[in-house]
Amino acid sequence: METETEKRVSARITGRVQGVGFRNFTQRRARRLGVTGWVRNEPDGSVRLEAEGPTDALESLVEAVHQGPRMARVQEVDADWSDADDEFEVFQVRR
């Protein structure tokens, strides 16, 4: 059991990140990396990401959301790291 490598990342992504396929992009990447959690649009125009998994997979996910899909223009990714609490079973888009 690798609980010492399991982490959680909470991130707020700003820029042109709504209406450009950002949530689906993030979900596909997270599932490919074996990460659980969720992503959703926020009323202020940002995107919120909550994810748990192996540290290296989460780092890859955070790196991916710095770019986002082709039409996105990411200005900032504000990420906070903590220990995982196994809250999620899959990665999903929340509305």
Which pLDDT band, with edges at 50, 70 and 90, does 4 fall under? low
Per-residue pLDDT tens over the stretch 65-81? 999 999 999 999 999 99
Return the ∠ at Cα 50 (arms to 38 and 32), rounded to 5°: 60
Mean pLDDT over each residue of the chain, to the nearest integer: 95
Which pLDDT band, with edges at 50, 70 and 90, does 5 fall under? confident
Q: With pLDDT > 90 as the criterion, what percentage of the chain qualifies?
A: 94
Per-residue pLDDT tens over the stretch 47-68? 999 999 999 999 999 999 999 9
Query: Which positions are catalytic?
Result: 23, 41
Q: Which of 34, 78, 38 lies closest to 56, judged by CA?
A: 34
Q: Has residue 3 got a pLDDT over 70?
A: no
Domains and CATH numbers, the chain: 3-94 (3.30.70.100)
